[in-house]
A and B are shown apart, each in its own frame.
Chain A
């Protein structure tokens, strides 16, 4: 399972948000790091088919996105930066609705994610309205929802933004474990350096281009810097830092 982009570009008017992006992302936990405006969300929107690339193509598990949208969407789970859970519905109703959109019955859906709900401590909250949940729990619901159809690729766009330290830690660790247990390809976009560990696959994106890609520790060694923060500073000089 892999995500491959080939000379992928996207323009807002005349401004390039993503430019000639050549990227290969394999299974495991992959971090996409970049400052605000680096092109992370635009890349996500193209990977999920919400934006049409201006040029280039995307292949997921060998399927070209333009010709195999349905196949690709079946194998993809997404957690967007902006919360997309329906506040007026319960946790269960949100999950069942998403499962229905994937063409899955409610019973099958709940069976699929029984363990995940339990690991995310959501089993007792299935009948609660999402409006009554805190930010951390809402994010957990979105993660559970993204896994309901057993995807092979999981995309998370700044999934921990706005959460407290404990919730961030819990969610980051859970997704890392999940990528190992299920053997899926996870692309985790963030601008928070403390979410990256030395063994993670790291891609640094800036001004719509890939600056580096590789294992964090090795990248630091190659660039002769002490840590990811310094690497990031070096590669995104003159750009806002979060």
Chain B
């Protein structure tokens, strides 16, 4: 990477991180949401939902412990969608034009934006995991290190997904609707809140939907990574969907939506 690219990459990442810290309410809501799930929701459900011994856990675990990877992925999902929302906003408000005035290739500029978003996700997850320790969530030290590449990969995938969605959306108002149709189905139809064998007992077709949901692969990838392990099927799935989705996101990018020649 020559210096021109390096300066550009640095500039985009620094700007997005700086803006994130300027928006304190965004940081706060990014943390409060999963912490509420962890403290309130998990407390209510731990009695109702027993989690038997399963991989990668070597023993019985609490429900809090079980949902931590799912909540981490929820943070990443929300952040990915929020970054894309800000791209729709930038496109409507005109600041996207500034980015596109760069002489560097557009795929590089968009990838830099995705990396910046992934770094922000990583930061939020680390802060969440720090607080999670105080509610009896026990993660081995090595898990914090092995989780980093997993979080980054998941964040890149979900950021690309958001970017692809933002390309399909013409107006800011429509984005909220699409987010509801994406975030909630992805999250609830996954292993984030309950093991899939529980879902299989309840409904076989829902179980298969959960199995084919790439978000399930994200949750499982992170669940194993937090214990220093690799889940090969989840890793392969996340890698494949990341490559596919980011390719389509970059290819379908339109600087000005609905503004093309005849």
Contacts and interface: CB of A to CB of B under 8 A. Distances in A.
A199 interface: no
B25 interface: no
Contacts of A101: 8, 11-12, 98-99, 101-102, 104, 109
B93 interface: yes
A51 B256 contact: yes
A132 interface: no
A53 B262 CA distance: 9
A99 interface: yes
B180 interface: no
B15 A97 contact: yes
Contacts of B109: 101
A88 B19 contact: yes
A224 to B, nearest CB: 38
B97 A98 contact: no
B15 A93 contact: yes
Which of B7, B23, B94, B99 has the most A CB atoms < 10 Å from its CB?
B7
A55 B15 contact: no
Tell me the dominant secondary structure on chain B's binding face: helix
Interface stretch (A10-18, A24-32, A117-125, A179-187): A10-18
A48 B101 contact: yes
Which of A49, A86, A99, A103 has the most B CB atoms < 10 Å from its CB?
A103
A99 B97 CA distance: 14
Contacts of B97: 48, 50, 78, 80, 84
Contacts of B100: 48-50
Contacts of A97: 11-12, 14-15, 98
A242 B10 CA distance: 43
A54 B262 CA distance: 6
Interface string A40-76: 0000010011111111000000000000011111101
Contacts of B7: 99-100, 103-105
A11 B261 CA distance: 5
Contacts of B103: 69-74, 102-103
A51 B261 contact: yes
A55 B262 CA distance: 9
Given A80-B94, A84-B93, 16 more contacts: A9-B261, A45-B256, A50-B256, A50-B259, A53-B261, A54-B261, A73-B101, A76-B101, A82-B93, A82-B94, A86-B15, A100-B11, A100-B14, A101-B8, A102-B102, A103-B8
Interface of B: 3-5, 7-8, 10-12, 14-15, 18-19, 22-23, 93-95, 97-105, 109, 255-256, 259-262
